[in-house]
Structure 1
Amino acid sequence: MRESADERHDRLLEFVREQGSARVSDLAAQLGVSPVTVRRDVETLAERGLLDRVHGSVSWPQSAAAAVGTAAPPGGSGLVLGLLVPSATYYFAEVIRGAHDAAAQAGARLILRISDYRPKEDKARAQGLLAAGAEGLLIAPGWQAAGDQAAYGDWMSGLPVPAVLLERQPALGSPLDDMDRVCSDHGHGVLLAVRHLIGLGHGAPLLVARTDSPTALAVRTGYDEALSALGLEQPHPVIDSVPAELDRSRFEDAVRTVQAAVATGDVTAALVHNDVDAIHLVQRLAELGVRVPEDLALVAYDDEVAALADTPLTAVAPPKRQVGLYGTRMLVERLSTGPRSRTPERQEQEEPGQHMALLPRLHVRISCGAAAPR
């Protein structure tokens, strides 16, 4: 696969950071590109304040503040924080906003990289943040499948700066389980939805969910745990949700399966992850004669666009902004006390690591057939 400009910039910055300075000809040889391309890259990075140019060579900026092109606010900490997220839209837009707000409150500068849900690129993106002067990292890896952590996550345990995981729960006992983290408790969110629907007189709800994100996998696990805690039997096997725009045939299969479950009378309620899939599902069910909420009470998961549907959707809302907010505060605090040691003798004198779980909320609207939660 051809290297992107961002990836090349990351490598260029890393090389200059390690060497302190470099000639354009040396950079061209190191990167395997033409001197013209390097000059263009250097010009772009210098305009952003990430490099200094001097007579045919480039050098690393003199301070972290210069490295991001903006001085710290008066009276601020002067810290530079790096944020790596898989997307800047939908779910993670609010996480970014919370991190930005907390960084501003601390007088720190936040710089952002996006992995586009390509976990293979997480490490390079993080190295780019370090090359740009980040003194601590906030990381939401681009994991999607269950095995992505084991395949692409171990590098985080060897980072040279303090780091906080956002919205990711590593496997128990794995090297990453020792990292500071802030996550939404999706199991609690699912329990809120199931308990609400049961309180409205329904049996156990059907689950329609994706399989392509850590949130989706957590929702599935939370569903099993919620039914067990409430003493309920699963009314129907979980239906795999597929975005209509990606695979129309599989989306139609899922819709028809929901329609059949409603027609038998076995199912009168459903929990759907995520909002967009829920909106498409409700629209298609209406075309097939299944009405929401009259025939099927429905709760969506994420609450990004649920309120904007023709039939406003009751939805579980993970505290996305607070994840970014509290994660950034945690990182600033960690930077003030120094990185955690792996030596048992020193650990006794340090602040303990933190795993913070934030509770989602249930926003009740028309789609569940109730005016307020019971």
Structure 2
Amino acid sequence: MRESAAERHDRLLGLVRERGSARVSDLASQLGVSPVTVRRDVEELAGRGLLDRVHGSVSWPQDAASPAAGPGGSGSGLVLGMLAPSSTYYFSEVIRGAHEAAAGAGARLILRISDYRPQEDQARTEGLLSAGAEGLLIAPGWQHPGDPAAFGDWIASLPVPTVLLERRPTTGSPLDGLDRVCSDHAHGVLLAVRHLVDLGHGAPLLMARADSPTALAVRSGYAEALAVLGLHAPQDVIESVPAELAPHTFDQAVRALREAVHSGVATAALIHNDVDAIQVVQRLAELGVRVPDDLALIAYDDEVAALADTPLTAVAPPKRDVGRHATELLVERLGQSGGAPRRHLMLLPQLRVRDSCGAPLS
């Protein structure tokens, strides 16, 4: 199976984090890709503030925690640990917000990546504690509905204050009593559906993955939005998968969307996520369906939606603010003597309107 760019980015960051610094040529050899690919990756990661570039080499940011810096090393104030499922795409902004808030509080942030392997979350978190973390920001690598029950109970018994990021455990579970900061994806989906309806469309189709908590939240939010607006889904959700991992299945999903447009079932669609939406638009054009002329479209995530040939209207979860508010909450919690009420903070996404919705129907 071909490695995705996100997976390669995580491996690259892991190598630099372990060494502190590395030459681009050495990274290319370690990753098994060309130096041109590594330079492109480094440019993207440096642009996100995750790496520093110096004369053909890259290094871990000086104000971020390095493996060699133990609890008594440089930046000897508060040490915060963060577990994230990825350091790219959606979570790069969450990490950036956490990093900025930690720096603003005079704290160091130690980052570990689970690569969406929830069975490894506990061991990686124990590594953060061993490195001196006095409080934890945890975004488990859950992907499927059963993952919280199978891989989550240990989080409730951690020995230091803990804040969950972008994860909503089952109501009444031990994890439900922890502090958490999340995007309100149901609100984001409602913004998208209402916008399309206000443009004169009927209920939009949903084309979505089912491989992450965000994807599952978008799906449940879609059903809630239709109920709130008194609408009925024009047909079942179109199941999507990453095009690079299953091109035939992805193409089948696009063809199902094309058929819905040609048959008049729907004139609008919401697609999770941005990358899928961009590829859907490209493939639809090859199949004779134009966006926005034949199909009004909104993407969910707003990571790269604005870069499409036809800039995509997109729901933008407040990713950076999630990281910032969670870190501020954790720092506040660490400064308290105990007994303060736990908090569940829900941040509202925004709808960023671009070209892919078109004009109102006549």
1:367 alignment partner, one of 336, 346, 356: 356
Task: Name the counterpart of 1:40.
Answer: none
Letter in 2 for 1:169: R
Which residue matches 1:264? Answer: 263
- Deviation per CA, 1:263-288: give whole Å up to 9, x if none: 11110000000000000100000000
1:106 CA drift (Å)? 0.7
Contact 1:364/1:370 (<8 A) preserved: no
Alignment of 1:174-185 (within 5 A): 174-185=173-184
Residue 187 of structure 1 corresponds to which residue in structure 2?
186
* Superposed counterparts of 1:294-305, under 5 Å: 294-305=293-304
1:354 aligned residue: 343
TM-score, normalization: structure 2?
0.80
Structure 1 unaligned blocks of 5 or more? 11-46, 51-60, 73-77, 340-349
* Counterparts of 2:288 and 2:294, CA distance in 1: 9
Aligned to 1:115: 114
Distance 2:128 2:194 in 1: 43
Give runs of aligned pairs for residues 99-138 of structure 1, distance below 5 A.
99-138=98-137
Task: Give the % identical residues.
Answer: 70
Cα deviation, residue 370, structure 1: 4.4
Aligned: 1:49 with 2:68: yes
Answer whether contact 1:306 1:314 (CA < 8 A) is retained: yes
| Aligned-residue offset at 1:249 | 1.0
Cα displacement string for residues 226-269 of structure 1 (whole angstroms, at most 9, x for unaligned residues): 00000001101000111111111111110110011001111000
Q: Conserved in 1, the CA contact under 8 Å of 2:84 and 2:112?
A: yes
1:316-373 per-position Cα deviation (integer Å, ceiling 9, x unaligned): 000000000000000001000145xxxxxxxxxx2100000000000000001149xx
TM-score by length of 1: 0.78
Q: Secondary structure at the match of 2:219?
A: helix
> Equivalent residues in 2 for 1:1-374 (5 A)?
48-50=67-69, 64=71, 66=72, 69-72=73-76, 78-338=77-337, 350-370=339-359
Please give the alpha-carbon distance, in whole angstroms, between the structure 1 residues aligned to 2:129 and 2:345: 25
Give the paired residue count: 299
Larger of the two Rg values belongs to structure: 1
Deviations 1:107-152 (A, max 9, x none): 1111100000000000001000000000000000000000000000
Residue 49 of structure 1 deviates from its aligned partner by 3.1
Aligned equivalents of 1:338 and 1:70: distance in 2? 27
AA aligned to 1:249 is H
Secondary structure of the equivalent of 2:335? Answer: helix
Runs (4+) off by over 4 Å: none
Distance 1:351 1:218 in 2: 29
Structure-1 separation of matches of 2:156 and 2:179? 11
CA shift, 1:155, in A, is 0.3
Per mean C-alpha deviation after superposition, the further-off stretch among 297-306 and 248-257 is 248-257
SS at match of 1:316: strand
Q: Name the SS of the counterpart of 1:337 in structure 2.
A: coil
Distance 1:240 1:269 in 2: 16
Would you say the 8 A contact 1:165–1:182 is kept in 2? yes
Q: SS where residue 254 of structure 2 aligns? A: helix
Q: Which residue of 1 aligns with 2:36?
A: none
Q: Secondary structure at the match of 1:82?
A: strand
Q: Deviations over 1:37-87 (max 9, x none)?
A: xxxxxxxxxx9435xxxxxxxxxx6xx2x2xx3224xxxxx1100010000
Residues 75, 107 of structure 2: 8 Å contact kept: no
Q: Read off the aligned partner of 2:226 and give its amino acid letter.
A: L
Deviation at 1:291, TM superposition (A): 0.3
